Amino acid sequence: MDTLYEQAETGCCPRFNPEPWDEKEIAWQDKLFLKDHVRAFLHIPLNFGKVMVKDMERIKAADALPPEPLMLSDDKSLWGSDIYIAVGKEVPGAEMTRISGAFLSKVFEGPYKDVPKWMKAMNAYVAAKGKQPRKLYSFYTTCPKCAKAYGKNYVVMLAEV
């Protein structure tokens, strides 16, 4: 695969701006995503890179790359996660889904091993707003190579409320 976001400094993931995502309320109506699944062992992804390369090649071939990347992970079990990659249009041969709802978002920064801590903090944030989270998604804003290049590893937690 060649470059994804040519305008990005890395040619891959654009530099992430946390401001539009930090402590915000977001509403989506039928937001289109390509849905896939990543196998895991005790929450550690086993085939994430392979799945992402396959999906991003499909998205790029379909000219469905959105202006801003958005990839959500639903860490469903010890053995796998569903991933949702936002797209600009239907991608042939891929499982497509639409997500609607109200979400609270909060930005975290640090190593991926802190995700469980961030999930707890996100649940506390949602409770402080007087709401109950129905589902929690992680938005990994850049790939590990780009996070290293930019010097920041931002992860957005989104709680459907």
pLDDT digits (tens, 9 = 90+) for 98-128: 999 999 999 999 998 898 899 999 999 999 9
pLDDT at 19: 96
Alpha-carbon distance 152 to 147, whole Å? 5
Amino acid of residue 75: D
Residue 113 pLDDT: 87
Long-range Cβ contacts of 82-86 (<8 Å, 24+ apart): 82/35, 82/36, 82/37, 82/38, 83/35, 83/36, 83/37, 83/38, 83/51, 83/52, 83/55, 84/33, 84/34, 84/35, 84/137, 85/33, 85/34, 85/36, 85/55, 85/56, 85/59, 86/31, 86/32, 86/33
Q: Is the pLDDT of residue 7 over 50?
A: yes
φ, ψ for residue 15, nearest 5 deg: -60, 135
The overall average pLDDT reported for the chain is 92
Q: How far apart are CA 85 and CA 10, in angstroms?
A: 20
β-partners of residue 84 are 35, 72
pTM here is 0.89
Q: Please give the Cα distance from 156 to 8 (Å, whole number).
A: 20
Q: May I ask the CATH class of domain 24-160?
A: alpha beta
Confidence tier at 4 by pLDDT (50, 70, 90) = low
Q: What is the phi-psi region of residue 111: left when phi exceeds 0, alpha when psi lies from -120 to 50, beta otherwise?
A: beta
